[in-house]
């Protein structure tokens, strides 16, 4: 024993002098890290390597040249250029291209150190330190922006296994242990190289890595399905020859006058032309007329201290419903739940943001109806003949988001709309058969995303079981 833990909170640890010869750092020798990392690692029966020992190449954007050189040689472009990957484009669930910027081809050619070819591990080194993903092998040209490491591992190391390690509890602990800084945490290259990674047999690496690979395939399938849904929806609903009008004024037809709402904002050209873009004959129905019920989260207050990471009853916030899915990240107690009204959510109901994360939503696909939402959400129970897959796709469309901005209470970049105003919004409806065709694709996409997330969870759990001595080797043999 080379240490003695005196207190855990706050951490106070006696350590032998050999421990602090190379690193005099109270954070590094925190009781949590010594117990959860050093103690566990000593019991491992597989090889342990420092990250730097298994890396072939570790580089980043700033390795291309000085800040002056970069400023002079990096030229931004429109979307005909090369995608320039920033931290906001990297998530635990793969690339997010929702807010993508581009550089021109000449800049891409000059940034040789940060070109992406597929197979590299990307690691965010600042801000949300430790977010990782493996670049898919089928990518087109892409270049890496600042604050992200590009890591190429040695041929005998499964990069997808390494990705699972960094996503696991113990990988995140190592990152936290070696990060530095105050409000804006960061990890430098030398510290990144010092992270100790268990290196099991190639068979175990592949078994765990294959789950991450399959998750990547499912995410790509979900993207393909999303594109197919959007193509079908656009073909069904919209006239391709009518574009959004951004002129300062236009003339209105009497039929375009809205009798229950007065205000100059609602007649802005971009909002009027949004409606004009619908194909002739498309029926518009109010949300309240295609729903059995719509209720919001104004059913009694839940104090922030009573919103828990673990608990009895799912508590869904606006940010938990997006891209067609509802994720359960927070909970409240049974006691808190009993004080609320309008609290159940049924399988197939839609949770949708009307404040904060406005215009995003998802389908509640959990059997447990004991759940509730916060005041930033509404819950929509569609009528029997309305397909919830079709409806959520329309509600998250650019068309419907323009409708929300049109009738929002605030003309700001973060508007909000009341439940009563929301119920009056009109939804373009098509036949039951057409709804079902789109809805089936939506549910296939949601299933692929959920399976992908489940595989990542399993891969993380496998790494944690490996480190804790609970890994079941029979699973590898059965899989081979």
Q: Please provide the DSSP assignment of 410-463 as one string.
A: --SSS----HHHHHH-EEEE--HHHHHHHHHHHHHHHHHHHHHHHHHHHHHHHH
Please tell me the predicted confidence (pLDDT) of residue 87: 94
> Quick check: is 324 in a domain?
yes
Mean pLDDT across the chain, nearest whole number?
A: 89
Helix (H) / strand (E) containing 258: none
Please tell me the predicted confidence (pLDDT) of residue 72: 93
* Mean pLDDT, residues 179-184 taken together: 85
Peptide bond into 10 cis (omega under 30): yes
CATH code at position 98: 3.90.220.20
Please tell me the predicted confidence (pLDDT) of residue 445: 97
Whether the per-residue pLDDT at 204 is higher than 90: the answer is: yes
> Quick check: is 448 in a domain?
no
Please tell me the predicted confidence (pLDDT) of residue 270: 75
Contacts 24+ apart (CB under 8 A), 411-415: 411/265, 414/356, 414/358, 415/358
11 and 30 Cβ atoms separated by less than 8 Å: yes
Rank 12-21, 125-134, 274-283 by mean pLDDT and report only the highest. Answer: 125-134
Cα separations in angstroms, 96 against 102, 279, 451: 14, 31, 18
197 and 206 Cβ atoms separated by less than 8 Å: no
* Cβ atoms within 10 Å, residue 365: 16
Count the domains in the chain.
3
Instruction: Enumerate the β-bridge partners of residue 124.
Output: 148
197 and 161 Cβ atoms separated by less than 8 Å: no
Q: Which of 5-19, 122-136, 306-320, 418-432 shows the lowest per-residue confidence on average (mean pLDDT)?
A: 5-19
Whether the per-residue pLDDT at 135 is higher than 90: the answer is: yes
Higher pLDDT, 407 or 179: 179
Please tell me the predicted confidence (pLDDT) of residue 264: 63
What's the token pair of residue 156? 């005998």
For residue range 320-332, what is the model confidence (pLDDT) as tens digits?
999 999 999 999 9
Instruction: Enumerate the β-bridge partners of residue 427.
Output: 285
What is the DSSP pairing of strand 372-373 with strand 313-316?
Answer: parallel
Q: What is the extent of the structural domain holding 15?
A: 3-43
For residue range 380-404, what is the model confidence (pLDDT) as tens digits?
999 999 999 999 999 999 999 988 8
Indicate whether 39 and 56 sit together in one domain.
no
> Quick check: is 217 in a domain?
no
Place 19 in a pLDDT band, splitting at 50, 70 and 90: low
Distance CA 15, CA 41 (A): 17
Please tell me the predicted confidence (pLDDT) of residue 130: 96
For residue range 79-106, what is the model confidence (pLDDT) as tens digits?
889 999 999 999 988 898 888 999 999 9
Rank 38-42, 165-169, 234-238 by mean pLDDT and report only the highest. Answer: 165-169
Indicate whether 24 and 59 sit together in one domain.
no
Q: Which of 2-6, 248-252, 270-274, 364-368 shows the lowest per-residue confidence on average (mean pLDDT)?
A: 248-252
> Quick check: is 347 in a domain?
yes
Last residue of some domain: 199, 232, 259? 199
Distance CA 143, CA 135 (A): 11
Whether the per-residue pLDDT at 336 is higher than 60: the answer is: yes
Whole-number percent of the chain with pLDDT over 90: 64
Indicate whether 30 and 73 sit together in one domain.
no
Distance CA 244, CA 251 (A): 15
Distance CA 261, CA 375 (A): 24
> Quick check: is 455 in a domain?
no
Indicate whether 163 and 269 sit together in one domain.
no
Whether the per-residue pLDDT at 10 is higher than 90: the answer is: no
What's the token pair of residue 133? 């993903």
Instruction: Enumerate the β-bridge partners of residue 316.
Output: 373
Three-state secondary-structure class, residue 380: strand
Indicate whether 311 and 167 sit together in one domain.
no
* Mean pLDDT, residues 127-142 taken together: 92
Distance CA 190, CA 300 (A): 51
Please tell me the predicted confidence (pLDDT) of residue 239: 83
Alpha helices in 76-201 (DSSP H): 105-110, 159-167, 169-178, 189-194
pTM to 2 decimal places: 0.87
Please tell me the predicted confidence (pLDDT) of residue 14: 65
Place 163 in a pLDDT band, splitting at 50, 70 and 90: very high
For residue range 401-437, what is the model confidence (pLDDT) as tens digits?
988 888 776 655 667 898 998 999 999 999 999 999 9
Indicate whether 262 and 374 sit together in one domain.
yes
Instruction: Enumerate the β-bridge partners of residue 198.
Output: 48
300 and 255 Cβ atoms separated by less than 8 Å: no
Q: Which of 48-57, 91-100, 299-308 shows the lowest per-residue confidence on average (mean pLDDT)?
A: 299-308
What's the token pair of residue 163? 């990705």
* Mean pLDDT, residues 450-457 taken together: 96
431 and 136 Cβ atoms separated by less than 8 Å: no
Indicate whether 136 and 179 sit together in one domain.
yes
Indicate whether 259 and 313 sit together in one domain.
yes
What is the DSSP pairing of strand 148-153 with strand 291-296?
Answer: unpaired
Please tell me the predicted confidence (pLDDT) of residue 175: 97
For residue range 260-278, what is the model confidence (pLDDT) as tens digits?
565 667 767 777 777 888 8
Indicate whether 130 and 20 sit together in one domain.
no
> Quick check: is 207 in a domain?
no
Whether the per-residue pLDDT at 367 is higher than 80: the answer is: yes
CB under 8 Å to 339, separation ≥6 — which residues?
300
Indicate whether 130 and 237 sit together in one domain.
no
Please tell me the predicted confidence (pLDDT) of residue 27: 76
Indicate whether 69 and 156 sit together in one domain.
yes
Distance CA 17, CA 19 (A): 5
Distance CA 440, CA 195 (A): 45
Q: What does the DSSP 8-state code read for residue 124? A: E
* Mean pLDDT, residues 131-160 taken together: 95
Whether the per-residue pLDDT at 3 is higher than 70: the answer is: no
Indicate whether 35 and 173 sit together in one domain.
no
Residue 375's nearest CA partner among 401, 342, 406, 348 is 342
Terminal C-alpha separation, the chain: 40
What's the token pair of residue 431? 């036949």
Rank 128-142, 245-259, 453-467 by mean pLDDT and report only the highest. Answer: 453-467
* Mean pLDDT, residues 291-307 taken together: 84
Q: What does the DSSP 8-state code read for residue 392? A: H
Task: Indicate the length of the chain as a whole number.
Answer: 480
* Mean pLDDT, residues 48-59 taken together: 97
């Amino acid at each position: 024993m080379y240490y003695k833990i005196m207190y855990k909170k706050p951490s106070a640890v006696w350590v032998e002098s050999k421990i602090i010869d190379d690193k005099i750092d109270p954070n590094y020798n925190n009781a949590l890290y010594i117990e959860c990392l050093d103690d566990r690692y000593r019991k491992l029966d597989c090889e342990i390597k420092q990250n730097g020992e298994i890396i072939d190449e570790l580089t980043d954007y700033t390795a291309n040249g000085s800040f002056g050189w970069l400023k002079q040689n990096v030229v931004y472009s429109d979307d005909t250029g090369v995608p320039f990957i920033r931290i906001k484009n990297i998530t635990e669930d793969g690339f997010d291209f929702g807010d993508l910027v581009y550089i021109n081809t000449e800049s891409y050619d000059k940034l040789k150190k940060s070109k992406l070819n597929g197979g590299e591990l990307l690691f965010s080194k600042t801000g949300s330190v430790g977010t990782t993903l493996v670049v898919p092998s089928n990518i087109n040209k892409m270049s890496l922006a600042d604050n992200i490491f590009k890591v190429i591992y040695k041929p005998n190391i499964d990069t997808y296994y390494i990705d699972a390690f960094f996503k696991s509890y113990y990988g995140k602990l190592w990152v936290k242990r070696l990060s530095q800084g105050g409000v804006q945490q960061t990890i430098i290259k030398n510290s990144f190289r010092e992270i100790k990674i268990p290196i099991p047999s190639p068979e175990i690496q592949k078994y765990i890595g294959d789950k991450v690979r399959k998750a990547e395939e499912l995410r790509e399938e979900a993207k393909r399905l999303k594109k197919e849904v959007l193509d079908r929806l656009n073909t069904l609903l919209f006239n391709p020859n009518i574009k959004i009008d951004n002129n300062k004024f236009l003339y209105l037809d009497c039929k375009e006058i809205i009798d229950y709402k007065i205000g100059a904002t609602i007649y802005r050209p971009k909002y009027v032309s949004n409606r004009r873009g619908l194909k002739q004959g498309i029926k518009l129905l109010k949300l309240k007329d295609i729903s059995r019920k719509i209720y919001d989260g104004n059913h009694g207050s839940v104090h922030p201290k009573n919103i828990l990471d673990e608990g009895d009853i799912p508590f869904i916030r606006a940010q938990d419903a997006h891209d067609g899915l509802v994720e359960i990240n927070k909970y409240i107690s049974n006691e808190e739940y009993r004080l609320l009204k309008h609290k159940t959510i049924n399988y197939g109901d839609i949770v949708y943001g009307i404040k904060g994360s406005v215009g995003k939503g998802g389908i509640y696909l959990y059997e447990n109806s004991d759940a509730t939402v916060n005041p930033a959400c509404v819950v929509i129970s569609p009528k029997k003949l309305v397909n919830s897959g079709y409806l959520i796709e329309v509600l998250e469309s650019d068309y419907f988001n323009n409708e929300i901005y049109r009738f929002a209470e605030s003309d700001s970049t973060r508007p909000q709309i009341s439940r009563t105003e929301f119920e009056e919004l009109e939804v373009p409806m098509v036949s039951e058969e057409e709804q079902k065709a789109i809805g089936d694709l939506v549910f296939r996409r949601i299933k692929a995303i959920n399976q992908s997330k489940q595989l990542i969870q399993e891969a993380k759990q496998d790494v944690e079981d490996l480190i804790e001595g609970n890994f079941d080797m029979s699973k590898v043999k059965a899989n081979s």
